[in-house]
Structure 1
Amino acid sequence: MELNLKGKRALVTGSSSGLGEAIARLLAAEGAEVVVHGRDEVRAKAVAADIGAVAVAIGDLATDAGADAIAEAAGEIDVLVNNAGVYGHEGWEDATPDVWRDIYETNVVSAVRMIQRFVPGMRARGWGRVIQIGGGLGSQPIPVQPHYSATLAARHSLAVSLARELKETGVTSNVVSPGAIMVDSVREWLTSHAPANGWGERWEDVERNAARDFVPNDIGRFGRPEEIAGAVAYLASPYGDYVSGATIRVDGGTVKSVI
């Protein structure tokens, strides 16, 4: 399916590996002019060369100086995918206020920095896409990772507020909400913990049993980065013109909702 992204310039934050890389790769394959972002210059340049990106932006989104450097390297952007973020495994007892503050700076304020640098240009040109990568823990948090869940909720909320702000401008704001995704680090963790949890020896059994224990869903497995990328590409395309302030869940049915 042709998504009509040729000539659109897209910045995917945190695209030097994992989920962000998969998003950048698909957008480039669909003809978008992709800017790869990361903090590791060697890794970011390697991804950029592999997918045929038009530029590389290196910088730390958690600082104003880093955001300025990224904006200068990226140029005018039509599609902004706020993917970069971190997560921690702390619970209520060990997630100190400093831990909360740091993760909010990285996961939420960094997105705001990108929005404030690129959305005015989109508005002036009369077309644009802002896509937040959120997550189901934002609406259905668990006892652990309260700080991470709170940042996901903030990402969802700011996306809807931005959509209202951009009413009738030709610029849309939406969220893609992944479930548990099988990136390299997740696969390594599952493999190392499989014996202790009795998940089996074959990879197919490990994935199915780990999904049952950690992220029970209707599909019975973890998601793939390419499946998230597909939802982002749809929203980035003209086929997403009539979608505003929405959350597209790509989680196998982990989050249960009738609306």
Structure 2
Amino acid sequence: MDLQLVGKRALVTGSSSGLGEAIVRRLAAEGAAVVVHGRDRRRTSAVATSIREDGGIAGIAIGDLATDAGAGEVQAAAVGDGSVDILVNNVGIYAPTAQWAETPPDAWAEMYNINVISSVRMIQHLVPGMRARGWGRVIQISSVTGRLPAANQPHYAATNAARNNLAISLARELKHSGVTSNAVAPGGILTPATVDFLVGVGKAQGWGETWAEIEPKASALAPNDVGRIGKPDEYANLVAFLASPAADYINGTTLGIDGGAYEG
């Protein structure tokens, strides 16, 4: 399926590794010119160079979206070679072992600033241009925890509910403009960092010593009807579709991609 992304330009925040990297690579493979964002210039440049070596068009934007100044730097770099048509707000942090009693208000504030307000900063920088041009895409990356929160990492779950709500509110604001706003809520994601964390958990639980031994048991930590943890490319495929003209009639919604997750 041709997603008609040739001629479009996309900024994916937090795309120097993990899910963001998978998304930016997928958009580039579909023909979009992409801006790879990160705080580490070496890692960010390496992803952009790899995309260009594969025949894609890629630039970089370096900056800390947790600050107004950093967001301004990213915006300036992102539009340096042309307008941004697609904004994927992927930047986020999580704390899988955090518990209510051990998570002070300052940690809640930090989580909210990075996971929610960083998106607001980039929306306010880039969406007015989309509205003026009459076409654009804004996609929030949240999490299944926005609708299925657990007792652990409560601040993370709360920020994902906020991300979903933000996407709907923005769609109302942009009605009839040609700019759509949606959220994608993944379940577990098998990024290298996730695998490393789960291997550590598995060894501590006596599930085995290798990922091959641990994976069947680790999947039960986030139960779903498919019976496994999602792969980054599976999430990136959905984001690429939402970013395309083929998704013109999808607006103001949160699309869960979690294998049919349920509470264990």
- Of 220-229 and 49-58, more deviation after overlay is shown by 49-58
1:19-30 to structure 2, matched below 5 A, reads 19-30=19-30
Matched AA of 2:61: A
Q: 1:61 to 1:202 in 2, by over 3 A?
A: closer
Deviation readout 1:50-95 (Å, 9 max, x if unpaired): 0124310000001010000000000021000000010123211111
- How far off its partner does 1:192 sit? 2.6
Could you tell me how far 1:18 is from its partner in structure 2? 0.4
Counterpart secondary structure, 2:138: strand
1:70 corresponds to = 74
What is aligned with 2:237? 230
Aligned-residue CA RMSD (Å): 1.2
Aligned twin of 2:255: 248
State the match for 1:191 in structure 2. 199
**TM-score, structure 1 as length reference:** 0.95
Q: How does 1:198-217 map to 2 (within 5 A)?
A: 198-200=206-208, 203-212=211-220, 214-217=221-224
Residues 1:113 and 2:121 are matched in the alignment: yes
Distance 2:149 2:201 in 1: 23
Alignment-derived partner of residue 123 in structure 1 = 131
Matched residue SS, 2:101: coil
Q: Which runs of 5+ in 1 are unaligned?
A: none
Aligned partner of residue 4 in structure 2, secondary structure: coil
Is 1:32 matched with 2:53? Answer: no
Aligned residue pairs, count: 255
Comparing 127-136 with 195-204, greater Cα deviation is found at 195-204
Alpha-carbon distance in structure 2 between the residues aligned to 1:231 and 1:126: 23
What are the ranges of 5 or more consecutive residues in structure 2 without an aligned counterpart?
none
Query: Identity of paired residues, percent?
Result: 58
Name the counterpart of 2:141. 133
Mapped contact 1:136–1:255 kept (Cα < 8 A): no
Query: In the aligned structure 2, how far is the partner of 1:126 from the partner of 1:194?
Result: 50
Which residue number corresponds to residue 17 of structure 1? Answer: 17
Q: Do the aligned residues in 1 keep the contact of 2:143 with 2:160 (CA within 8 Å)?
A: yes
* Equivalent in the alignment of 1:173: 181
TM-score, length of structure 2 as denominator length: 0.94
Corresponding residue to 2:107 among 81, 99, 118? 99
Distance 1:255 1:172, change over 3 A: farther
Cα separation, 2, equivalents of 1:127 and 1:149: 31
1:164 counterpart letter in structure 2: R
Moved over 3 A (4+): 200-205
